[in-house]
Structure 1
């Protein structure tokens, strides 16, 4: 009798940010993101010069946990989620740790996109969602084997989730998503009238 099993599984962690009982004010969190964006002239200039729709602090402020108390609290919460994900991934860290490398704000307006990319030089990447208006973009993950599928036919429309070439995950405000940094992902065009606000981050092995 034949036996079929899944090999080399790609893991995706999804949880509520407050799952461990930590209290982070959603209103204060959102207000902080907007205020930082309004005050970050360097980030605004970078976005304008690079035709980046909306705002990101990726090129200007990536040490938010050091600069703002609410982000310091956020990092402590994210540390707990990353630790849980590391257990599931069964990493042997050899006595070292995965530590936050950088963290930044994303404000995506109507019509804005984040093109397909990976996060080099880190182990775990993720995003926590501050504001996700109705109709806002899901995050789109790409099968990491795509480059090797030179002559493979497309999948049927109702293929099992783990067999699909692209998987869309629709987050809610207060969610945190974690994945291994080599996993290619993107945010398709935001069709909502209101801003989609999130905070992304990378953890490196040190």
Structure 2
């Protein structure tokens, strides 16, 4: 009898932010995102210079946990989520640990998008969702084997989610998604008239 195993599984972690750590008021988090964006002239300039739609603090701010108590609470929560994911991945961290490396705000207006990319210098990456209006884009994840498939035929449209080349993860406000940083992902165009707001982050092994 033939036997087919599923090897080299790619895992996506999804949970409510509130599942771990202090309670976080989503309205306070959203207000803090806008307040920081309004004050961050360097970030606004970077977005303008680089043709980035909307706003990101990625290239300008490294101290969100100091700037706002709600971000300090968010970091406490994310530390616990990442620890839970690392356990599920059965990672052998040895004498090291996973610690927050970067944390940044993303505000994508109507028509805004973030092209396909990876986070090559990190171990675990993720996003928590602050505002997801109707029409806001889901996170698009790509099979990491795509570059090696060469002459492989396409998958059936009816293929199971675990066999698809691209998978869309549609989060809700208050969700946190985590994945290993080598996983290619993108944010397709925001088709909503309202802002899509998220906070993304990287954890490194040190």
TM-score by length of 1: 0.98
| Matched positions, count | 206
* Structure 2 unmatched ranges of 5 or more: none
More displaced, 13-22 or 103-112?
13-22
Work out the CA distance in 1 between the residues paired with 2:180 and 2:62.
19
CA contact (8 A) 2:109 2:193 kept: yes
Post-superposition shift, 1:68? 2.1
SS at match of 1:18: helix
- 1:180 maps to 180
Residue 168 (1) aligns with residue 168 (2): yes
Work out the CA distance in 2 between the residues paired with 1:102 and 1:180.
15
Alignment of 1:52-201 (within 5 A): 52-201=52-201
Q: 1:21 to 1:201 in 2, by over 3 A?
A: closer
CA contact (8 A) 1:63 1:102 kept: no
Aligned-CA RMSD value: 0.8
Post-superposition shift, 1:109? 0.4
Alignment of 1:26-45 (within 5 A): 26-45=26-45
Provide Cα deviations, 1:56-100, integer angstroms capped at 9, x if missing partner. Answer: 000101331133221111000000100000000001100211000
CA contact (8 A) 1:146 1:165 kept: yes
Greater than 3 Å deviation, 4+ residue runs: none
More displaced, 113-122 or 12-21?
12-21
* Structure 1 unmatched ranges of 5 or more: none
SS at match of 1:122: coil
TM-score by length of 2: 0.98
More displaced, 54-63 or 180-189?
54-63
- 2:2 maps to 2
More displaced, 60-69 or 115-124?
60-69
